[in-house]
Amino acid sequence: MKGADAEDRAAAYLLGLGREVLARNYRIPGGEIDLITCDSGGTLIFTEVRQRRQTRYGSAAESVTPRKLALMHRAALEYLTRELGRDDLPCRLEVLTIDGPAQTGEIQLLDVLE
């Protein structure tokens, strides 16, 4: 599966931050959330994982388009309503980037501002 190594490393990194992984690869028609985690304060975090081995076509962060963010937002709302029965829980979107090889590249967490 493409991106599985990067997602595995991202999940391990987020666990190291004290988060609990609730779901991986949550899919709805037209959208997906790579990782859904919960921090110690009870905030749900919806994470898109992006990895670029080389920067020839830009960084991993530059690969996240406004369309991808909109689809991510839609999938997060669907998760909240379908899986948890409400959409008023504390949550946020973020992008975890890995620039370089999946196992050794530099990790950066970026909050998505809407």
What average pLDDT does this structure show over 18-34?
94
pLDDT tens digits for range 69-103: 999 999 999 999 999 999 899 999 999 999 999 99
Q: Binning pLDDT at 50, 70 and 90, where does residue 21 land?
A: very high
pLDDT higher than 80, residue 114: no
Q: Binning pLDDT at 50, 70 and 90, where does residue 2 land?
A: low
Domain layout of the chain by residue ranges: 4-45+54-111
**pTM for this prediction:** 0.91
| 3-state DSSP assignment of residue 56 | coil
Tokens of 103: 């196992």
Considering the chain, what percentage of its residues have pLDDT values greater than 70?
96
C-beta of residue 45 within 8 angstroms of C-beta of residue 37 = yes
Beta bridge partners of 101: none
With respect to CATH, is domain 4-45+54-111 assigned 3.40.50.970? no
Q: Binning pLDDT at 50, 70 and 90, where does residue 1 land?
A: very low
